[in-house]
Chain A
Amino acid sequence: MLALWSLLLPLAGLAGLVHAKSSSGDSVLVVLEPGLPKEDFSVFFSNLKEQGYDLTFRAPKEVTPKVIEDDIPAFAHVILFAPESKAYAADITPQSLVTLLSEKTNLLVAVGPKTTPLTSLASEFSLILPTPNTPLISHFPKRDTPATVIPIEVASNSLLTAGTPPVWFSGVSYALGNNPLLVPILAAPAESFASDSTEDSGADALVDASEKGGEGLWAGSATSVVTGFQTKDGSRVTWVGSVTLFSDEFAHKALPNGKASGNEQFAKDVAAWTFQEKSVLRIESVSHHHVNGTSTPDFYTTNDEIVYSVKVSKYDPKTSSWKPCTCRSDIQLEFTMLDPHVRTTLVADPSDPGSYTASFRAPDRHGVFKFVIDYKRKGWSSLQSSTTVPVVPPRHDGYPRFLSAAWPYYAGAISTSVGFVVFSALFLAGDVRDVKKGKGLKHE
């Protein structure tokens, strides 16, 4: 199912038959620095336009259109192709870009070897950029281009079209911190390293230096050149180490083996993921009820059998609509009070597409419980849902009334009652004089 989707989507996009649109809006602001004419990226931009995006261009120092005003973002997506701009208009600062992200705007950011305000922003995303002016260098495979222009094999990745040819890259690589929100998309080749010189002799010195501490070593496939980042609010950022990756020049440039490069396809895939076309899930509704009931109660009693179901849908860019998604099999439900008391897998309901159900017995513990779904998979939008429901002890008449274990007590109560009646009867029916005698004794 998954494979089918991932096949179908780009095919449809390639054919240009369908206008694929983002799930979060079509307006895109492209911040292009003056040194980069937009004609150089015509393939990328026209592909976006074809898909139905509404592109607005502006230079970093221009004041309008504002990217964010009064904390309300003006665009659904922002492309920052300004790897060398040192100064921006007042509305674009690292801080405002983070605010954009928390307001559900997506970002596609290109960085370069030069130090810009974006360099400091990158570290907030646990991206560790090399020292300035140290582009990525690789001498393999043998080719006629400079060492800084590298064809990179595209490893298979659920975000990318399978079988994408290698892409041309010329820019910086960066190391990744251990932030779980990072989604690596394209790793640097194993033979590559970051260096300020194209000479091989310099490379050895670099390795030595890094071993002694001091500057770190940016080398090998551990570093990344294209990395996604999905914030906890659901917005996405993609950090690209090279703006030329999207250029017409690289899109048309043939690979060393003579075949066409994958840049155009790769750029489209990256944009599709970043702009929330792909791998977008959401929870439509959740419901819970007793096993043999349908209505949602205000509370459960301890040890009740509970059925919980959730409807998940996935965004379909082809039709710009949300389709029920039975595509995940590892969604889990937790029934939590401080700690999960029950953790169970939600099973897809075959009769109802997109619906997942779990049924379980409430713990023998009263309190305020939460049904928690916290589904996080790399590349996929996270699913989060929390429904609070109290679990109460049984009512005063909700306990079993007669227990066989309590017979001694019943027997005791009955015998006492019978004894009392018998005693009263005997006492009342007894000889009056006897009674008086007894009373007299009492007074002594």
Chain B
Amino acid sequence: MRLSIFALLSLSLGLVAAKKSPQEELTELAAAGNGVIKVTNERTFDLLTLPSRNWSAAIQFTALNPQRKCKPCSEFDPSFTAVAKAWTTVSEPERSDHFWATLDFDEAQQVFQKLSLASAPVVHFYMPLAGPRGRAKDTPLKYDFSHGFEAGPLAEQLSSHTPVPIPYKAPIDWASWAVYAAFGLFFLVTLPLVAPFLQNRWVWAAGSIVTSLIMTSGYMFTRIRGMPMTSGGQWIAAGYQSQYGQETQVVAAIYGLLGGSFLMLTMVTPTQTSPARQRTQVYVWTAIIFVVYSILIALFKMKNRGYPFSLLF
């Protein structure tokens, strides 16, 4: 083991013309890659994770080739690059105590195999094994993606391991601010025009009704859980405690239709002055209520298989 590393080292020394320490070499590589060392062979990887290293390294294992169809990889890569770029602003002695590297599956497949990695993206954090921050154990820390792929949490989490906290600042989202400002301005300008509209109770009624319909048909569930609209051609999620986005729309529509039918029966039908037309209306709405309600029950029965009741369907 040790011998092979010596061999590697001598190899690396042979390759680089001047006699450079591994750390200097890595610093150069990092500078060349705008803060991120692009690992394209096993040698660079071994250099980064040298058993005698007194630096730490955060290595991103990814698969950016579109053929690999790794959507999270391409989602996460900009965050990693942004955090690594932020690290280049750290002043010198600390800067070269920590390296950022990225390793693409198509360029260094053997490293993936060596670490028996089967998924991407993965971020390994190699703690230094020598020097003042040295640790005894050579097992990399794995970054926990439960906080999402954003750069903010990445910088925050890794800051506890880097020599100095990562000076990462989320870029100010000018675009959304501009949109907000534009909306505000637009609102102010059109206020005199829409004021009568805003003062109309039925506008507010429509707003309130739509809000409560959407909320009571599980919109917040799909939002918080990030449920897709449909999945695999199915628009009804299996199970009582789950649902897809499509269901929200359908259920909200059914609720709206049923509630609307009742309103029709109560508010519109009695104002009808022709008995015959009124009778038709009453029967139509009653039938709609019955049929749509049966559909709703059938839908519920699909979600809750043990439900004993059913109407038409």
Report A-B touching, CB under 8 Å: no
